[in-house]
Amino acid sequence: MANVWECIIGGYQVINKWLSDRESDLLGRALTKDEAREITNTARRIAALVLLGPMLDANYQQAKQGVSIVQTSNVTEETNVAG
């Protein structure tokens, strides 16, 4: 499974790109607290997507077969959506 640092969206390694665009040499200053908070929140969101990846993939495969899987709490329900 990929990790947060390796996550690529739109052809860019997200965290690396964000940080490299804000290098102190380019900005002439260190990151602000708001910028540090923003990248931390972004990393957390990516981590959630990475962890959800296998479940999202399984749901996609089931949807291709016409079966919808809905998970609520610890209960998984299957519904045939083929018409």
pLDDT more than 70, % of the chain: 78
pTM of the predicted model as reported, rounded to 2 decimal places:
0.66
User: What is the number of alpha carbons within 13 Å of residue 18 lying toward its C-beta?
Assistant: 19
Q: What are phi and psi of 9, to 5 degrees?
A: -130, 130
- Tens of pLDDT along 30-55? 999 999 999 999 999 999 999 999 99
